[in-house]
Amino acid sequence: MNNLILGRYLPGDSWVHRLDARTKFILSMLFIFVIFLANNVYGYLLAAVFVMISILMTGLGFKVFFDGLKPLAMLMLITTFLQLFFIDTGQVLAQWWIFTVTTDGVVNSIIVFVRFMLIIMFTTILTLTTPPLEVADAMEALMQPLRKIGVPVAELALMVSIALRFVPTLMDEAQTIMNAQRARGVAFNEGGLIKRAKSYVPLLIPLFVNAIKRAIELGDAMEARGYRDGEQRTKFRALKFTQRDTVAAVAFVIFTVALFATRYI
């Protein structure tokens, strides 16, 4: 259960770690759109270099980023194969039943694969270098304009923060309960599908019972300390833009312009 790299924060003190969460969040989102500007090999080369430099600046090493790709490998392969088989323009290279592999298909699937990989690696920078709670804060800050149309932004953000806060707690608890039931002779992950599903009942029921109990206790504790919703409140972790964020934004703009320029090479 501890193998979940996607969405896992790795503490550090690099330049990227110290960027404001909002900057990282916006740039990650923008990257997903900007990457579509690339339409030839130079564009993808430039984007790859940009991603590589960004990763180097996190000081975490490439390995964790490649590990982060693994859970999505299946999705990447399926998308790539769909491109390979279902594009039928260009020169035919091979044919079998309803499947046709063409030159355009090959080129396109390579493009899709590379684009996918770059997007995942770049957005992984956000999740690996930013504590989840800061990501939630950044989302709250960026959703502020929605308050005007009556969206309860602060409450939504609080829900997200609480949910994130309890992920490790619940994982620990799941582990403890699993151990206790294993000691009572439950064999998890053994036997057929139905037997497997059944073996999780003794894990899930106590887990839900405890989670609900905990939620009630937390609600009581918050009310006892005077929490009311809909209030404008200040934050313990205030987000602050610094010079670093300006530098990052400028670098990203330069990258975007350069990527646009590669279209005309």
Which positions lie near other proteins, rule CB under 8 A? Answer: 2, 10, 64, 173, 176-177, 179-187, 190, 201-202, 205-206, 209-210
Per-residue tokens: 67? 């590990």
143: three-class secondary structure by DSSP: helix
Task: Please name the residue ranges forming H helices in 184-200.
Answer: 193-199
Shortest reach from residue 76's CB to other proteins, in Å: 23
Sign of CA dihedral 56, 60, 61, 66: negative
- Would you say 146 or 187 has its CB closer to other proteins? 187
93: three-class secondary structure by DSSP: strand
- Would you say 182 or 244 has its CB closer to other proteins? 182
- Would you say 190 or 231 has its CB closer to other proteins? 190
Shortest reach from residue 17's CB to other proteins, in Å: 15
Residue 54 and residue 59: Cα distance in Å, rounded?
9
Q: Write down how long the chain is.
A: 265
- Would you say 183 or 238 has its CB closer to other proteins? 183
Residue 20 and residue 247: Cα distance in Å, rounded?
12
Residues 6+ apart with CB under 8 A from 127: 6, 7, 8, 9, 135
Cα 197 to chain centroid distance, Å, stands at 28
- Would you say 12 or 90 has its CB closer to other proteins? 12
Shortest reach from residue 66's CB to other proteins, in Å: 14
Q: Give burial (CB, 10 Å; 0-12/13-18/19+) of 117.
A: middle
- Would you say 208 or 241 has its CB closer to other proteins? 208
Shortest reach from residue 49's CB to other proteins, in Å: 26
Per-residue tokens: 246? 């300006």
Shortest reach from residue 136's CB to other proteins, in Å: 23
Shortest reach from residue 172's CB to other proteins, in Å: 11
